[in-house]
Amino acid sequence: MSEVFIGRQPILDRNMKVFAYELEFHQGMSPNQDYVKATTELIAKTAAEVGFASIVGGQTAMISLPKEMIGTDALESLDLTSNMVLEIPNDILKDVDILKSLKEIKAAGSSIALENFTDEESSIRLSGISDFAKLDNEAHSDLKLKKMVEELHAKGLKVIAECVETEESFQYLKGLGFDYFKGHFFTNPIIINGQKLSGNKLTLLQLMAKINDANTDFFELNTIISHDVALSHKLLLAVNKPSAMIPVRVENINDALRYMGLKRLKFWVNMLLLSQIEDVPQELLVSSLARARFCEQLAEKSGHKVDKDTYFLVGLFSSLGAFFKSPIAEIVVEMPLADDVKEALISKSGDMGAALVCLTKIESSSGQYGDLSFDNIGISDIANIYLSSSAWAQEAVAA
């Protein structure tokens, strides 16, 4: 089985809206493997079985490939159109064949992003054929970063900050003039210690807790939702969309429960409740759903199938700190959750906590994935689960 796998990182703009998803190809623990061949096979397989458009949800795909693959048959599986940005290394200036291929790629409608821009001659010259430049914001001083951003802007390039892991870093780099920001910083918001949840958010949190309580039955859920007029209206609109695939028009919550089932209806209610929280980026909802699906699939494919619904819930709730901009420990206190769920969310302990650790590692941009595993599942399968979960989340939100 191939030890090459795909990593996926969101790239957001200055308003925290998704601009693109970066797809990176990583090599696992098989150093003697033909990396180019394995990557080529993985690209073809992903295009055929999942589809790059599904992974990025209609957004721009920023593809990072080894330079040996630029201009080869590997690119035949990629749709080189205006929704594709190809990343190039800054050491290809003397490679005539690659430069020729890049001109053809640009002519086909793709854009070029220059990796790790520096002030060296080769990097400066390559910026002349590029549309974007990525800067290592940890490798330069503030003054140097600001100067480089200004010079790139003067050439008409948009500038991307790498490895942005917190909202604090996002705000800082935004002040230096960066246009785009790569990373899961939106899941690590600035939290003011000691600030209580507002009445509306506390009510919403308690409503989510009640809806997701394993002891909440059909009748009780019907009563809870029916008493919230706005939620009932949104839910009925959602379940009557063609994508919900319900054969009749649903007129009330009781019918929605009957046709959809308890689990499926709870999913829709969770999504609607999270989507109405203000001052959070849309990508946070997509990320939360992807996390939920990822943990569910890990449970399904390992020895925890009987607990897959609880794994789903843990994945979904793992981002609540970002939604409510409060420490997760304070949020969990307000929810009647089982002890193992609380421990997984707060301290990432137990089997469900291990699933969250696995999740945060595959989300990270550290590149240290080679020995990542969960029970009997290796890195290649974990990466496939993550990509399929991301595609599922994109489709769920779009629906």
Q: Which of 177-191, 254-268, 364-378 has the highest mean pLDDT?
A: 177-191
pLDDT of residue 259: 80
Nearest Cα residue to 25 out of 60, 81, 70, 90:
70
pLDDT for the residue 198: 67
Question: Over 80: is that where the pLDDT of 287 sits?
Answer: yes
Locate tokens 């089932």: which residue? 261
List Cα–Cα distances, 387 to 66, 102, 219, 286, 324, in angstroms. 20, 27, 37, 13, 26
Return the CATH number of the domain spanning residue range 4-187: 3.20.20.450
234 against 66, higher pLDDT: 234
Residue in the structure block whose two tokens are 């695939």: 245
pTM across the whole model: 0.85
Is residue 30 over pLDDT 80? no
pLDDT at 194 over 80: no
Res. 318: pLDDT tops 60: yes
Q: What pLDDT does 1 receive?
A: 42
Nearest to 315 by CA among 395, 217, 235, 212: 212
For residue 27, name the pLDDT band (cuts at 50, 70, 90). low
Q: What is the mean pLDDT of the chain?
A: 84
Q: What is the pLDDT of residue 273?
A: 87
Query: For residue 272, what are its two tokens?
Result: 């609607």
Residue 49 has pLDDT above 80, yes or no: no
Report the pLDDT value the prediction gives residue 195, as an integer from 0 to 100.
61
CATH for 199-398? 1.10.3210.10
User: How much helix, strand and coil, in percent to the nearest 5, is found in the chain?
Assistant: 55, 10, 35
Domain locations along the chain: 4-187, 199-398
The region of weakest confidence among 64-78, 203-217, 261-275, 280-294 is: 64-78
Query: Dihedral of CA 46/309/287/342: which sign?
Result: negative
Q: How far apart are CA 237 and CA 286, in angstroms?
A: 20
**Worst-scoring range by mean pLDDT, 15-24, 77-86, 197-206?**
77-86
Q: Span 259-266, mean pLDDT?
A: 81
Contacts made by residues 230-235, CB under 8 angstroms, sequence distance 24+: 231/269, 231/272, 231/273, 234/272, 234/276, 235/265, 235/268, 235/269, 235/272
Range of weakest confidence among 83-97, 233-247, 314-328: 233-247
CB 181, CB 173: distance < 8 Å: yes
pLDDT at 346 (0 to 100): 95
Is the confidence at residue 350, as pLDDT, over 90?
yes
